[in-house]
Homo-oligomer: A and B are copies of this chain.
Amino acid sequence: MAPEAKAALFDQFAQVGKAFSNGRRAELVDVLAQGERAVEALAGQIGQSVANTSQHLQVLARAGLVTSRRDGNRVLYRLADEQVEALWETLRAVAAANVSGVRQAAEEYLGDRDGLEQVSRDELARRLGAGVLVWDVRPASEYEAGHVPGAISVPPDEVQRRLDDVPDGVEVVAYCRGRFCVYADDAVRALVAAGRRAVRLDEGFPEWRRAGLPVAVGTG
């Protein structure tokens, strides 16, 4: 068997690695794990031009990680399947465990998490029926694409405004995109500073959905 054939096969596997080899593409995957989105919205999320974002999306598409469909004059991208989410989750876990720079970069971005109480998704699932208030701290469109049943949408820029909506004595559980998502952290800190009791879900909504826990869709 020709050695080039073996090399060619591993080059194909490397295509998937290549897709994740750029920080902006990783951000795109992270956002797309929340649900379908148009190019312009994605460009805004990753802070890049639309043209550049489009090109990154095409790299992801060539690696089979995303698919697209036209809706009117917009093109909506989504992750190809749940396995891609699983891959992204494992990759982050490996990076967190082994890449020394992650700890630094995470602290730089997320701030100090020492005073931040976290609960697991099983714990949240248990408490769901027991009078806990759940905040989905993601952009409204991500909430609408799917959220924890009973959670209310509190987009990041509305957190301050909604602090007083929390009845006295009620505990808030906040969640957002994942372990390394800052929105829930910020919300919990703001709530605690306002004298409320608040904790964050240690993971994000994609992990909740992939664990087979119940999901609600739409503005409800």
- Give me the interface of A with B, judged by CB distance under 8 Å: 1, 3, 5-27, 30, 47, 63-65, 80-81, 83-84, 86-87, 90-95, 97-102, 105-106, 108-109, 111, 180, 182, 186
Contact = CB atoms under 8 A, between A and B. Distances in A.
A80 B95 CA distance: 11
A14 B26 CA distance: 7
21 contacts: A1-B186, A7-B27, A7-B47, A9-B109, A10-B30, A11-B105, A12-B101, A13-B23, A13-B26, A13-B92, A14-B20, A16-B94, A16-B98, A17-B17, A17-B21, A63-B98, A64-B95, A65-B98, A80-B98, A83-B90, A83-B93
Nearest to A47: B3
A137 to B, nearest CB: 14
